[in-house]
Amino acid sequence: MLKVKRLYDEKSTQDGMRILVDRVWPRGVKKEDVDYDEWYKELAPSTELRKWFDHDPEKWDNFKKKYFKELKKQHKRLEEIKEKSDGHNVTLIYGAKDKEHNQAVAIKEYIEKS
């Protein structure tokens, strides 16, 4: 089962494999203080798209359209996540404050639709 969780939220035994999907390391936390298994930077939105979006909920639908085009180039990585989550918990972790409008939510949606 594929899940999404904020990096700053407490780890749970239900998380399973934890994959960070931010391009840059989240603010205010040391790498050694974060419990994650993989860091897939390449799945994060391009710098240009991330800056344009700026977590503005009004841009969410357009962001997803543009981001999904970027994700098409990451087919192997996304397929890997899909396979790992088949029968096992995999949690995509992210640093954004907005729990509804972030790349992890978009990645989950993209994988579930494919």
Query: How far is the C-alpha of 61 from the C-alpha of 105, rounded, in Å?
Result: 12
| Residue 87 DSSP symbol | S
Percent of the chain predicted with pLDDT > 70: 100
pLDDT digit string, tens, across residues 36-87: 999 999 999 999 999 999 999 999 999 999 999 999 999 999 999 999 999 9
Query: What's this model's pTM, rounded to 2 decimal places?
Result: 0.95
Query: How far is the C-alpha of 3 from the C-alpha of 19, rounded, in Å?
Result: 10
Above 90 in pLDDT, residue 114? Answer: no
Q: DSSP of 41-86, one letter per residue?
A: GGGSPPHHHHHHHTT-GGGHHHHHHHHHHHHGGGHHHHHHHHHHTS
Average pLDDT over residues 5-28: 95
Q: Which residues contact 14 (CB under 8 A, 6 or more apart)?
A: 3, 89
Query: How far is the C-alpha of 59 from the C-alpha of 17, rounded, in Å?
Result: 30
Whole-number pLDDT of residue 34 = 92
Above 90 in pLDDT, residue 27? Answer: no
Percent of the chain predicted with pLDDT > 90: 96
Closest CA to 9 of 92, 102, 110: 92
Q: Residue-wise over 13-35: b if at least 16 C-beta within 10 A, else e?
A: eebbebbbbbbeebeeeeeeebe
Structure tokens at 97: 């404050």
